A and B are shown apart, each in its own frame.
Chain A
Amino acid sequence: MKKIVTIALITLKELLHEKVFYLIGGFALLAVGVSLLLGDLTYAEQSKITLDFLLAGIELTSLLFSVFMGITLLHRELNLGWIALVLSKPVTRTEFLLGKFLGQTFVQGLVILLMGLLTYGLCSMNEIVIVPKSLFQSLLLMFFGGIIMSSLVYIFAVRLGALLAASCSLLVYALGNFTAGAEKTNQALQLSYVWMLLKGIFPNFRILNMKTLAAHGLSIEWSLVGLLFCYTAVCSIMYFIVASISFSRRDIFT
């Protein structure tokens, strides 16, 4: 466990030293820009649309963070050869991967929290009605989605090149959204075994989306948040196990 925490802490330092604050800065600029653009709209529309935009911005940032940070972290290790010095120590590849994953997840949580605070501040300054509970729940579910996405990205990042890994991850993300959406419109699909299999493979990101609710100041039961946490845990562990097995079997040429 100590080795995993050590790797996670180094990963955290790595992320804080490099890219993560550019993301936050970019988002801050985006948020201010969106607020100014929507300033001319009526009060009632501005409140909902601005918040919806801001939350969508956080979700998009979180998704990009999962995909690109996950791939960068692993590929940098493999391409620059840092991994050789770590794996030559009595550290298993699973411990290495888990350390990276936990470090990344922690920073991702921090980024979402900072962006949430920024959103709250921006809304308060512009007198936009915002319910802290619904904002927090929405951010928490985005974080859950980020965890699932990161574990999914690792499956591809441990085997494929950066571009292919990013494409595959985004494709699975899209398919996850598509399967959930298609099921909503076509009830007959629910009975199909193939469909059930697809549902098991592709994560359902739609159930983690409560941006619209948050924009309307609505919240959900904490018991439902608990259930969604369980769903996140099951999906992430399942994907992480696949990534870990795949990584343990591959040759490392560095």
Chain B
Amino acid sequence: MKTNQNADILIQEVSKVFRTGFGKTKVGVEKLSLEIPKGQVIGLLGPNGSGKSTTIKMILGFLKPTAGTIWVCGNQVPSQTSRSHIGYLPENPRFPKFLSGRTLLKFYGSLLSLSGNDLNKRVDFLLDLVGLKAAAEEKVHGYSKGMTQRLAIAQSLLNKPRLLIFDEPMSGLDPLGRKDIRSLIARIHIELPEATIFFSSHILEDVEQLCSMVALLKKGHLQTFCSIEELLRSDFQNFEVSVRNSTESETKTVNGTDALIDFLNETKAKGWLISNISSQRRTLEEALFRDAATEARS
């Protein structure tokens, strides 16, 4: 099977069926095909049980697909080579509590074959990047949720990976913590412009702010995979139009450009004047809910 050199992740017809006991099975992901291009920030969306974590764990080699193949940076999964390109941040990362932040980063660095001065410099740089320099010698036992998350991000960057996989990076954080992590991800994208950042999230606002593309999973199937712009494209756009005549005024919201043209023609025919037109860009949440509602109606 051919691999696409322009794709950092290539998922081909992958299925995962879990055995739940007594001959019963549960489909985690079914015939999923996805090609993640290089250098993008991609959000993996979907409700609970949609297969987001299963997909991520198969990319990492933690779960073995029942069918299909996965390639990471041109290397078939599972392999050490494929993992050498990955930086991974698990959902709710936890560390051995008896070690300090610095010791932990050195430990993970050693597993990536880093050593000596290179490792020390990289650890110092990353502690600075994630804002943990002052707490570097403290045992992680005393770290807050936000600090633990930042340490986990630091360990994922040790090998300057080509592919960063973040599983729910903002999960369980307060608004300030979320903002910190969002800024950090944006900064990572600047520091490592070649790297692909693939992350799952429930928080659509974060995805909308950070991602260039989104993949939407539902019940183990890929529903949508497109750019954010495409998902929010103008034919779904709302316009708020204010019109008036000599005695009264009125504001109406119309959906889509065709409806806008019709309304404007109607207004003109009635002899009313248009005082204002403003476009209301849909949020990602609206786009996804609208798609879900459309699907439910059909």
User: What residues of chain A have their CB less than 8 Å away from a CB belonging to chain B?
Assistant: 2-3, 6-7, 10, 13-14, 17-18, 80-82, 84-92, 249, 251-254
Contacts and interface: CB of A to CB of B under 8 A. Distances in A.
Given A2-B113, A3-B110, A3-B111, A85 B93 contact: yes
Interface in B99-120: 99, 107-108, 110-113, 115
A10 B92 contact: no
24 contacts: A6-B110, A81-B90, A81-B92, A81-B93, A84-B88, A84-B90, A85-B90, A85-B93, A85-B95, A85-B108, A85-B152, A86-B108, A87-B60, A89-B83, A89-B111, A90-B83, A90-B112, A91-B80, A92-B80, A252-B57, A252-B62, A252-B63, A253-B63, A254-B62
A10 B103 CA distance: 10
B98 A17 contact: yes
Contacts of B212: none
B251 interface: no
B97 to A, nearest CB: 9
A246 B110 CA distance: 26
Contacts of A84: 60, 62, 88, 90, 93
B94 A81 contact: yes
B63 A85 contact: no
Interface residues of B, number: 29
A10 B113 contact: no
B84 interface: yes
Nearest to A87: B62
A221 B200 CA distance: 63
Of B62, B108, B113, B155, chain A has the most CB atoms within 10 Å of the CB of B62
B86 A88 contact: yes
A94 to B, nearest CB: 11
A87 B62 CA distance: 8
A17 B96 CA distance: 11
Contacts of B178: none
Given A14-B98, A90-B84, A253-B57, A85 B113 contact: no
Contacts of A17: 98
Contacts of B152: 85
A14 B86 contact: no
Contacts of A249: 64
Interface in B55-85: 57, 60-64, 80-81, 83-84
Nearest to A83: B62
A198 B83 CA distance: 41
A89 B60 CA distance: 9
Nearest to A92: B80
A120 to B, nearest CB: 31
Contact of A14 (B60, B81, B93, B96): B96
Contacts of A254: 62, 90
A101 B164 CA distance: 31
B187 to A, nearest CB: 22
Contacts of B112: 89-90
A2 B110 contact: yes
A6 B63 contact: no
Given A82-B94, A82-B95, A85-B155, A10 B107 contact: yes
B103 to A, nearest CB: 9
A245 B95 CA distance: 26
A252 B94 CA distance: 16
Nearest to A250: B64
A33 to B, nearest CB: 31
Contacts of B113: 2-3, 90
A27 B115 CA distance: 40
A6 B96 contact: no
Residue of B86, B108, B111 most packed against chain A (CB within 10 A): B111
Nearest to A251: B63
Contacts of A86: 108, 111
A85 B110 CA distance: 13
B60 A88 contact: yes
A80 B57 contact: no
A9 B62 CA distance: 24
Contact of B111 (A6, A13, A18, A81): A6
A163 to B, nearest CB: 18
Contacts of B62: 84, 87, 251-254
B92 A88 contact: no
B64 A85 contact: no
Contacts of A82: 94-96
